[in-house]
Structure 1
Amino acid sequence: MRETVTHLPAADTNHTVNANDRAITALVMLAHGLVHTYEMAVPIFVVIWLTEFDLINLGIAQFNVTTATVGVIVTLGYGLFGAGALPGGIVVDRIGSRRLITGCLLGMGGSYILLGLAPSMVVIALALVLWGLSASVYHPAGLSLISKGVEQRGTGLAYHGVAGNLGIGLGPLVAAVLLLVAEWRTVALVLGVPALLAAVYASQASFDETAAVTAATDGGSKASSGIDSLGEFLTESKHLLTGSFLLVFVVVMCSGLYYRGVLTFLPELLRGLPGFEPIPIETLLPPGVLSALGIEVGTGQTLKPQDYFYAGLLLIGVLGQYAGGKLSDRIPVEYGIAGSFLVLAVLAVLFVPVSAMGFGPLAVLGALLGIALFVVQPMYQAAVAEYTPAGTRGLSYGFTYLGVFGVGALGGGLAGSILAFANATALFGTLAGIALVAAVTGVALARRK
């Protein structure tokens, strides 16, 4: 099919491009923030489920509600969040990002509505499965849309990452605040509404999904047909994983392992450190405020500093996401990857000795860790766009988030095992080794390029 090119005046062209960039960026920021809001609100509900429910009744068998059984249910949803990224990447290359993002938002909103209506742990499990399946398609769809539709790709990735970090940090905070004035089912219903409204917006927003695709900057191909068969899937996957993208895949797996490894047990690690002793809430607020919040004096309720340190570390990652996206527009992403992971390795080595110095030094290191932890994300996202053809961009991001959330999920188990059989020094030494592997891989990418 012959392509017709219309030449516009320079000012009009710039206006069109900028408007398209803004429209896409607004949509992906909204969707990305909601994905991580729902992801990080689940642990807030877990504490309540453990006290409200006694049995998981499957009909043919019953199980007590314990941290182990609830953990299996939550892991099922989180596991699908990672596992669904690869098929989601295949689908986005066939039907485009808009439809998949709209479906993702509808599914997530519906899952939280179902959660708010759940009479039992079985229905809660179904709601989390629906959330995991719905949310899993977002990253390949959203990042494919940025990589193919946004001219200022690095800046788009930066804003996209900022929105995700706001969801990560504010999601549990919003849920916790709402729980002060409403019971958990009502909170779940309220949280489900924004995703449904966002789905309506996604279906109506006006933008060109492929405005930024060029043969020179998108893996040498303007193809947009996607995967048609199992054979083509295997062929394209082999092509991706035998080229430079294999090195990018190693980087994203290391990123996922480090991310889950350092964060999964961080509040528990902080709990026993100097400066993290529980603080009685009644010593922080006047009686009138305590009464308005429904907190009775003398109940022994305490503020846990490690939780707020943890949330602060995640929120400050906004700066890292923004800086990483901007840097990926200004420096070769390969060197950015290598340098960022080298910093993460150094911070891992320093964590245990600095933690013995008191709250102040650890707060500084925590801030640096929060920034560095998220600087790498827009960089490897940009690297995927540079090392893959546009026609299989969704498949490429599917593999990427299979690595980040799927393989990366093993980081939590790895951290738990190391802490059970060794200590924090061994854990952070292992994390430093993982970061060094990613740094060396970044250098290898640069040399290969």
Structure 2
Amino acid sequence: MCSTKVLHIAVEGVVPLKSSFYGRVGFLSLVHGLDHAFLMFSSPLFILILRDLGLDYAAVGALVSLAYFTYGIGALPAGFLSDRFGHKWTITAAIALASMGALVGSLPGSYGTLAVSFFLLGLGASLYHPPAMSLLAHISTPENRGIAMGLHGVGSNLVMVAAPALAGGIATLFHWRAAFLFWGLAGTAAAALFWRLFESTGSPESADPSPLAGLAPILQDRELVHTLLIIFLLSGIQGFIWSGTFAYIATYLQDVRGMTVAVSGILAGVQYGVGALGHLVGGYMADRSSRVLPVLIGTTGALIGFGLILLPSPAALLVGIFILGFSLFVKQPAMNTLLADAVPQEVHGRLYGVFFIITNTIGALAPMFGGLIIGRFSFTAFFLLCSAIVLSAYPLILLMRSALREASPRTP
């Protein structure tokens, strides 16, 4: 019987990911990491691009801003596309489009060529998260949804650590355009594999093509709207704190704590590594204990972490960096799961689109406000502001505990 099954797989060309929960989540985690790599791999290449094309830092910074701007605004239409055409189509298009952007960057050309490259990188990456969260909600159950979200986050953290180093190594051995070529080819292969290994989900043939289809019952449910508002406000707080911390932690370590660029970069990378553990722990707790508990732990841990990094003790600084890294990621699986639990599958994509556009848009404000506050006052003032914003999450957490309507009976 086993040989017959293997023969059937060989003949049909079907890999049994379609029936394997951990196989699908694991592969999607790698695709998730690749999606983040498209936005991060170029960071060590900027000085090489600057010298090669005769640019200044403002011009290079404009490229990065272009990528992140398109990344921020693309989440909302991505949610509609996911609900309308399905998870498989939208995720494949996301990775393929970002891969095209990387391949464009590998071509000989001018600043305009790179502008097209970064635009496509940001736009493609922006299309990933709403359909991916919807797909995870589709292939999981309320009992294992948290761990699915947690495992999905691990891939992004591991690639966040590795992608810049890998791109820098390729650029050192060959040329900075070779790094763009590598990620373009890797993305193209991943998109093809994803299309081959995953079944079509999330797009019923009878689905109403209207962007507002299926939302009317939600908007008429005041308790559900209340719950969604709490989730969206918490996502905005998370976006600001996450972006602000990772935008300035390395600079703080250099300018205030006197560390070298290399050491500060290593410690900043350590936060992503510890964050991978946070994803796993948060997902496990969301399934086994409470959806709310990881959010509470992450909020409290962030407060403790900000306090420790401001103390003069080097030991307190190191402990604070570890706690911040863990805390900023431990609540993400629970936040993603809360939204999936709250609303019907047919509107997951659009509401995840709202979720991520709030997170990304408010997160994009943090570096700007941080720069103004640090320039006029100090790093301490900025991290104290972050602490105050974190404190504002506690009333929302209390409200969510009373308003939450979950499928899992274990969750308060």
TM-score band (shorter)? 0.7 to 0.9
Return the TM-score normalized by structure 2: 0.87
1:169 partner letter: V
Partner of 1:229: 210
1:395 matched to 2:387: no
Partner of 1:447: 402
The question of whether the paired residues in 2 share the 8 Å contact of 1:97 and 1:144 is answered with yes
Partner of 1:338: 296
User: 3-state SS of the aligned residue for 2:240?
Assistant: helix
Shift of 1:230: 5.0
**CA separation of 1:17/1:129 partners in 2, compared to 1, >3 Å: closer, same or farther?**
closer
Partner of 2:384: 429
Partner of 1:36: 36
Shift of 1:251: 0.6
Counterpart Cα distance in 2 of 1:331 and 1:208: 32
Partner of 1:256: 239
The question of whether the paired residues in 1 share the 8 Å contact of 2:79 and 2:351 is answered with yes
Shift of 1:43: 1.7
Which consecutive residues of structure 1, in runs of 5 or more, have no partner in the other structure? Answer: 1-15, 55-64, 211-221, 279-302
1:270 partner letter: L
Partner of 2:130: 140
**CA separation of 1:189/1:148 partners in 2, compared to 1, >3 Å: closer, same or farther?**
same
Matches within 5 A, 1:230-249: 232=213, 235=216, 238=219, 242-249=225-232
> C-alpha deviations, 1:287-342, integer Å up to 9, x for none?
xxxxxxxxxxxxxxxx6211111112212211111111111111221233123212
The question of whether the paired residues in 2 share the 8 Å contact of 1:118 and 1:124 is answered with no
Counterpart Cα distance in 1 of 2:100 and 2:193: 16
Matches within 5 A, 1:6-405: 19-54=19-54, 65-151=55-141, 152-207=144-199, 209=201, 228-229=209-210, 232=213, 235=216, 238=219, 242-274=225-257, 276=259, 278=260, 304-353=262-311, 356-358=312-314, 360-405=315-360
> C-alpha deviations, 1:65-124, integer Å up to 9, x for none?
322232122111111112100110011011111111111121121111111104111110
> C-alpha deviations, 1:145-180, integer Å up to 9, x for none?
001112321121111000010111111111122222
Counterpart Cα distance in 2 of 1:209 and 1:231: 20
Counterpart Cα distance in 1 of 2:149 and 2:78: 19
The question of whether the paired residues in 2 share the 8 Å contact of 1:21 and 1:149 is answered with yes
**CA separation of 1:18/1:196 partners in 2, compared to 1, >3 Å: closer, same or farther?**
closer
Shift of 1:45: 2.0
The question of whether the paired residues in 2 share the 8 Å contact of 1:106 and 1:199 is answered with yes
Partner of 2:3: none
CA RMSD of aligned residues (A): 2.4
1:345 partner letter: L
Counterpart Cα distance in 2 of 1:399 and 1:227: 19
1:396 partner letter: L
Q: Identity percentage over the alignment?
A: 25
**CA separation of 1:226/1:443 partners in 2, compared to 1, >3 Å: closer, same or farther?**
farther
User: 3-state SS of the aligned residue for 1:332?
Assistant: coil
Counterpart Cα distance in 1 of 2:136 and 2:390: 27
The question of whether the paired residues in 1 share the 8 Å contact of 2:18 and 2:197 is answered with no
Return the TM-score normalized by structure 1: 0.80
Shift of 1:239: 5.8
Which consecutive residues of structure 2, in runs of 5 or more, have no partner in the other structure? Answer: 1-15, 405-412
Counterpart Cα distance in 1 of 2:41 and 2:220: 38
Shift of 1:227: 5.7
The structure that is helix-richer by fraction is 2
